[in-house]
């Protein structure tokens, strides 16, 4: 047990450094004045380097190896077994990337992100091309350093969704796409059936903010262990399971933005606030993967927040806050308004039905680019054709096409699929919750979200990083990730909404 204590002590410092760096990052995106940027970059990169040095020390490696051998007989679900399993994976990866390469990647990504922002503003693909090409080359090298059996993409995806093979994602995406494309077309033909004009009226910012607080409180977000601040982009960040913060923004003429961002980030935050104390300052704290995390945010945003029952509960609050805008509305009308589905160019503005098609397109593009089957210069045309084939629309310019996302310039390849994997998993989970928890709609309609949250605590939150997405799916629902529940949910809901 002495070796385990030594390892835990060493890694507690690694965890503390990661959280300290997170505080610096949070401040940078919320309150930091413009002048603070250059010094902050130095401070953050120092913490990041110290963290890497501490984690990749030889002693840590020896301890992981020794303990893994000594404890090989522990059951798979044992906390210590899971800790060693996760550490072994993290350590091997951290060691495989040479420090010089990490520096190169970080430098190139800094340049590419700046170039991307300028290129998007100027609607100029040509200016971004060399940066995308450079990042691709680096990510190809990264995949080689990390290693893989069949596809480079496996090595990259594994950073965000451990043990999820590219082949499983491809198979799932192919199957879902075949169902989604006709559904989108059918909805398109009946587009006038759902009216979302109410969302585009003028809404006071402070009142929207207060209502977002109400929604967060309702789902059980603990403000004694968190807070919501303004930031250009909504996100959730954790400095410990007792200090989990969200950010949000207010759009005066799009009511749904602030409320649903609160529920989305709130879903992430419930997961992090639910991470058990016993995992604090270890590699097991927090969420299992990006996909599992996204299952939690999507569940609260869409399966709860965009349900009819939610609006039965929430409409009186909405009406009290925005009497004038709500005058000609009721719960049912609001339910319909927040569920309008229609093809659009921008992923982050997409609705529940079309969202995954945006993701699939990116997943295909990433793979084609990485495998040199598509050239960077050909991407915009390829993109427009895919959009036309999946969503029936063609972007008017590259800024609203292949140039819209920041991810690739930041080096995030293999990240996009997790958005959809999480979305599919959320429906699979929710179907199971319905089976086990009785009438969820009745609970939501009276403002009871705690039964569901307590269930998620037991099924998901309490396990921290112990299990993968597929393992959790199997434990909770008896089968690995599937898309049947997701497609059934979408078809039922949207057939009714659009009279299909």
Q: Which residues sit at the interface with its own copies, rule CB under 8 A? A: 12-13, 16-17, 19-20, 23-24, 27, 31-36, 38-40, 42-43, 46-47, 50, 222-227, 229, 239-240, 242-243, 245, 280-281
In contact, 187 and 500? CB cutoff 8 Å = yes
Nearer to its own copies, 40 or 407 (CB): 40
Minimum distance, C-beta of residue 228 to its own copies, in the bound complex (Å): 11
> Minimum distance from CB of 196 to its own copies (Å)?
34
Q: In the bound complex, what is the minimum distance in angstroms from residue 461's beta carbon to its own copies?
A: 16
> At its nearest, how many Å lie between its own copies and the CB of residue 293?
20
Catalytic residue among 265, 272, 366, 471: 265
What is the closest distance, in whole angstroms, from the C-beta atom of residue 389 to its own copies in the complex?
47
Burial class of residue 173, CB neighbours in 10 A (0-12, 13-18, 19+)? buried
Q: Least distance in Å: CB of 237 to its own copies?
A: 12
* Nearer CB in complex with its own copies: 23/368: 23
Give me 176's structure tokens: 């879902």
How far is the CA of 245 from the CAs of 31, 153, 253, 419, 482, in angstroms? Answer: 14, 32, 25, 21, 31
As a whole number of angstroms, the distance between CA 375 and CA 398 comes to 16
Which residue lies nearer to its own copies by CB, 225 or 333?
Answer: 225
Specify the residue, 240 or 289, whose C-beta has the smaller distance to its own copies: 240
State yes or no: is 265 an active-site residue: yes
Question: Of the two residues 16 and 79, which places its CB atom closer to its own copies in the complex?
Answer: 16
**With contact defined as beta carbons under 8 Å apart, do 434 and 440 qualify?**
yes
**Minimum CB distance to its own copies, residue 222 (Å):** 7
- Residue nearer to its own copies on the CB measure, 227 or 375: 227
How far from the centroid of its chain's Cα atoms is residue 132's Cα?
A: 23
Length of the chain: 500
Nearer to its own copies, 162 or 286 (CB): 286
Q: How far is the CB of 445 from its own copies (least distance, A)?
A: 30
Judged by beta carbon, residue 24 or residue 251, the one nearer its own copies is: 24
Active site residues: 265
């Amino acid at each position: 047990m002495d070796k385990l204590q030594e390892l835990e002590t060493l890694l507690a410092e690694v965890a503390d450094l990661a959280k300290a760096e997170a505080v610096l990052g949070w401040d940078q995106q919320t309150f930091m004045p413009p002048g603070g940027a250059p010094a902050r970059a130095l401070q953050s990169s120092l913490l990041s380097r110290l963290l890497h040095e501490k984690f990749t020390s030889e002693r840590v490696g020896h301890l992981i190896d020794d303990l893994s051998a000594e404890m090989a007989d522990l059951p798979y679900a044992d906390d210590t077994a899971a800790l060693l399993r996760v550490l072994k994976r993290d350590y091997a990866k951290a060691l495989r990337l040479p420090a010089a390469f990490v520096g190169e990647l970080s430098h190139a990504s800094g340049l590419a992100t700046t170039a991307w922002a300028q290129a998007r503003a100027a609607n100029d693909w040509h200016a971004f091309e060399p940066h995308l090409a450079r990042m691709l080359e680096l990510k190809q090298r990264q995949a080689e350093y990390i290693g893989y059996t069949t596809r480079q993409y496996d090595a990259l995806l594994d950073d965000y969704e451990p043990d999820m093979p590219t082949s499983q994602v491809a198979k799932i995406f192919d199957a879902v796409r075949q169902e989604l494309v006709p559904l989108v077309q059918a909805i398109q033909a009946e587009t006038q059936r759902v009216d979302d004009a109410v969302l585009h009226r003028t809404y006071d910012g402070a009142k929207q903010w207060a209502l977002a607080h109400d929604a967060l409180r309702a789902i059980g977000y603990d403000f004694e262990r968190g807070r919501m601040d303004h930031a250009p982009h909504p996100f959730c960040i954790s400095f410990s399971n007792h200090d989990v913060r969200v950010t949000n923004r207010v759009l005066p003429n799009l009511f749904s933005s602030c409320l649903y961002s609160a529920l989305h980030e709130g879903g992430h935050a419930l997961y992090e606030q639910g991470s058990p104390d016993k995992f604090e300052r270890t590699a097991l704290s927090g969420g299992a993967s990006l996909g599992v995390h996204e299952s939690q945010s999507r569940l609260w945003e869409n399966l709860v927040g965009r349900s009819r029952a939610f609006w039965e509960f929430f409409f009186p609050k909405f009406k009290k806050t925005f009497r004038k805008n709500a005058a000609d509305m009721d719960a049912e009308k609001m339910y319909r308004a927040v569920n309008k589905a229609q093809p659009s160019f921008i992923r982050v503005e997409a609705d529940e039905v079309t969202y995954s098609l945006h993701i699939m397109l990116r997943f295909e593009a990433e793979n084609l680019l990485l495998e040199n089957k598509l050239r960077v210069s050909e991407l915009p045309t390829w993109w427009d054709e895919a959009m036309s084939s999946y969503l029936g629309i063609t972007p008017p310019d590259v800024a609203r096409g292949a140039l819209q996302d920041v991810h690739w310039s930041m080096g995030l390849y293999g990240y996009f699929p997790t958005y959809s994997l999480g979305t599919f998993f959320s429906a699979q989970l929710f179907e199971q919750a319905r089976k086990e928890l009785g009438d969820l709609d009745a609970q939501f309609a009276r403002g009871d979200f705690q039964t569901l949250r307590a269930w998620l605590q037991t099924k998901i939150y309490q396990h921290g990083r112990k299990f993968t997405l597929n393992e959790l799916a199997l434990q909770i629902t008896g089968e690995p990730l599937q898309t049947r529940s997701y497609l059934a949910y979408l078809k039922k809901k949207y057939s009714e909404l659009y009279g299909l």
